[in-house]
Structure 1
C-alpha cells in the first residue's frame, strides 16, 4: 500500500521517514508538546529513530497512519497528525496530533485534522473517529468540539504518565454527524 500524501491550502501531510529524525526528536523532546501525550519526553535521537520505524511498521500492518505536517510555504516540518488503533474491519480509529509550540494557535492542527477526517470518511470509509485528551488540555478538546466531535465521557485512570494514572476525556465523531 502506498503512503497517502494529503494536501491542504497551507500544508503537506507526508510520510515520516528517517530523514525527519531531528524534527521528530525536537517535537517529542519538548516538554510542552508532550505534556498531555501519555509519554515521557525523548532524551536521545535513538528514540526518534525508533518511533519513526514504528510509524512505518504500523502503517505497513494497516493498524495506524502517522503523517508529518509540513508547511507548504517554507517546507518546514512542524508536527504530526495520525490515526492510532486503526481497525479497518471495524470501521474505526483514534486521532492524535502534536505541533511545535511556535506554531500553536495558527489553525495548523485544525487544518490538518479536518483533512485527515475527510480522508477517514471518504477514502478509508470509516464510521467512527475517536479521540482521547487530558481534561486539563483545554485547547485540544475545544478543537475537537469545534470540529464536530462529541464528548462521550471520562475514562478514569486511563493514561499513565509522570508516574501516575491520569483521567482522560473521550470524544468521537461518527460519519453520520460529520459535516462535509
Structure 2
C-alpha cells in the first residue's frame, strides 16, 4: 500500500521519514508534549530515528498510520497525527496527535484530526475511532468533544509513565456520529 498524503486548507499530512528526525526530536524532547503522552522525554536524537522506523514498520504491517503535519504557508513540520491500534478487520482504530507548543491554539490539531477522521471513515471504512487522554489534558479533551467525540469513561491505572500508573479517559466517534456531524 502506498502511503497516503492528505491535504487541508493550511496543512499537508505527509509520510514521516528520517529527514524529519530533528523535528521529531524537537517535539518529543519537550516535557510539555510528553507529559500527557505516556512516554518520557527524548534525551537523544536516535530515539527520534527509532520512532520514525516504528512508524514505517507499523504502516507496512497495517497496524498504524502516522502522518507528519506540515504548515503549507511556512513549510514547517509541526507535529504528527494518526491511527494507533489500527484493526482493519474489526473496523476500528485509536487516534493520536502531538503538536510543537509553538503552534498550539492555532487550530492545527483540530484541522489535522478532521482530515484523518475523514480518511479513516471514507477510505479505510472504519466504524469506530477511539482516543485516549489523561484527565488532566483539558486541551485534548476539549478538542475531541468539539470535533464530535463522546466521552465513554475512565480507564483506571491505564497508562504507566514516570514510575507510576495513571488514569486515562476514553473517547470515541462512530462513523454514524461523524456522518451526522458533517450533515448538520
Same-fold call, TM cutoff 0.5: yes
User: How far is the alpha carbon of 1:162 from its aligned partner?
Assistant: 1.1
**Structure 2 length-normalised TM:** 0.97
2:119 equivalent in structure 1: 119
Q: How does 1:63-74 map to 2 (within 5 A)?
A: 63-74=63-74
**Structure 1 length-normalised TM:** 0.99
Paired with 1:162 and 1:22, the residues of 2 have a C-alpha distance of: 24
1:101-132 deviations in whole A, cap 9, x for unaligned? 01000000000000000000010000000000
Paired with 1:40 and 1:159, the residues of 2 have a C-alpha distance of: 12
Paired with 1:28 and 1:3, the residues of 2 have a C-alpha distance of: 23
1:137 equivalent in structure 2: 137
Q: How does 1:47-66 map to 2 (within 5 A)?
A: 47-66=47-66
2:14 equivalent in structure 1: 14
1:143-177 deviations in whole A, cap 9, x for unaligned? 00000000000000000011100000000000111
User: How far is the alpha carbon of 1:42 from its aligned partner?
Assistant: 0.3
Paired with 1:35 and 1:8, the residues of 2 have a C-alpha distance of: 28
Report the structure, 1 or 2, having the larger helix content. 2
1:11-48 deviations in whole A, cap 9, x for unaligned? 00000000000000000111111110000000011100
1:65-106 deviations in whole A, cap 9, x for unaligned? 000000001110000001000000000000000000010000
User: How far is the alpha carbon of 1:138 from its aligned partner?
Assistant: 0.3
Unaligned runs of 5+ in 2: none
Provide the aligned C-alpha RMSD in A.
0.5
1:36 equivalent in structure 2: 36
Paired with 2:83 and 2:44, the residues of 1 have a C-alpha distance of: 25
Unaligned runs of 5+ in 1: none
Paired with 2:118 and 2:46, the residues of 1 have a C-alpha distance of: 33
2:104 equivalent in structure 1: 104
